[in-house]
Structure 1
Amino acid sequence: MIITCPACDTRYTLADSAVGPQGRKVRCAQCGHMWWQSPQDEAAFPPDAVTEFHPVPPPSKAPAAKKSAPGKPPADPGARRRALVGWGSFVAVLLAIGAAGYFGRATVVRLWPPAALFYETVGLPVEPPGTGLQLQNVRSEQKAEDGKTALLVEGQILNVSEAARTVPALRVTALGADRQPLRNWTVEPVPPQILPGEIATFRDVQTDAAGVLEVMITFDGGR
C-alpha cells in the first residue's frame, strides 16, 4: 500500500501487514508529522492511480532431454560442489547486507531519510545523532595568521547518558551577514567513544575566514 503524509505530501510504500487491520500511528521521515494511518484511508491509493494487469503466458514446454549417447563420459563430479559453494557465497552476501542494514541503520537514515519510517515500522527506531551527548564550553575566535583571518572553533562533548556512546562527527557551519551560510565542514572529536560522565574534545582552525560573523555546531552522525 502507498501512504501519503498529509503535511508535506511525501509518499511511502509499505506492506499492508505493516499497518495492520486496525491501523497504526506513523511519522513522516521528511517533515516529522505524525498521523493515524488506517488501511481504509483513501490516501493509501491516489485517485489518479491506474493499475493494469497483464496476462502472463504459460511457460513453454522444455524440450525433452536427450538420452546420453553410450560411452559419453559422466558429468563432472566437482560441478555440484562448485554450485553449492556459489550458493553459499550468495547467502553469505545477503546476510552481510542484512547485517549492514541493521547495525548501520543510522548511516542509512542519514543518507536516505525516508528509511527512518521503515525502521520505525519494523520496531527498529533510529536514535538521532548525538543522543545522550551534550556540547559544552564551546567557543569560536577569529585571529590573524599570515595576513589572513583564521577561525578557531573548540569545545567539549559530555556523555550525559548511562551507557557508552560513540561520538559522531560535528558539522560546523559558518554564517555571514543576515545569518547566511558561507560554508560548512566536519570536525572529528577525540576520543571517538566515551563512557558515562566522560568528555571528548574537539578543536579546529580554518584559514581565510573573512566575513564569518557566527558559527553553528551540530552533530553530523557521519561515522
Structure 2
Amino acid sequence: MIISCPQCATTRDLPAEAISPHGAPLQCTACGHRWRHQRHPGPYESARIIDDPQPAVQAALLDKEARLLAAAALRAERARARRAALRRVERHRWLALGAVWLLLLGAFFAFPDHIVRWLPGSGWVYARLGMPVNPAGFAIGAVQTGRVLTASGQVVLAVQGRLTNITPRPRAAPGLRFILRDAGGKALHSWVLPAVATGDIGGHRAAPFISRIANPPPGARSVEVRLLNDAQQRS
C-alpha cells in the first residue's frame, strides 16, 4: 500500500495488513509529521457484504408466475378436454341419428305392407316408387263370373274366386266388396260379403269365396272385387 505524507508528500510503501480498517497512527520519516491514516478500500478490495433481498424477491415472483402459468395451463387442458368430450358426444349423437335413419329407411323398403298398415298415408309414396303394397296381407285371384236364369225368370250373377293369405301367419278372413261397372268403368251397383270364412286363413293358404246378386244392372260389363278395410269391416 502506498502512503503519502500529507505535510511533505513523501511516499512510502507499507503492507496493507499494517493499517487496520479503523486507521493507524503514522509518522513521516522525512519531515517527522504525525497523522492518523484512515484505510480506504481499494478497487479490488471487497466492501462489507450485505444480504441483497432482490434475488429472493425475484425467485418469489418467478415461483408465483410459474404457479399462474401452471394454473392457466390446467384450465386450458380442462377446457380442451371438455370440448373434446362435447365433440365426441355430438359425433355419437349424429352416428346414432344416422343409424336410426338407416334402420327406418331399411324398414321402409323391406316391410312396405307393414308400413302402410301402420301409416296408411304412406301408400302414395310406394305408389310413386312403383312398389306394390298390400297392407291387408291378402290377395284376390281367380275371379270368375257367371249368369244363371232361375225358374222364376230371375237372372242371378255369381262371382267366385280365391282369397290368399300372403303372409306366413294366420289372419282373420276379411270381407269383400263387389262393384259392377259398365263398359266405361262407371260403378252401377255394389254389395258386400261380410266375411270370406268364419275363422282365420292360415299363412300362405287360400280360401274360396262366392257371392251372388239377383237381377244385376243390365249394363254391367265387369265386376271389381276389393278387400274391406278395418273401418269398413266394423261398419
TM-score (norm 1): 0.41
- If each structure's helix is expressed as a fraction of its own residues, which one has the higher value? 2
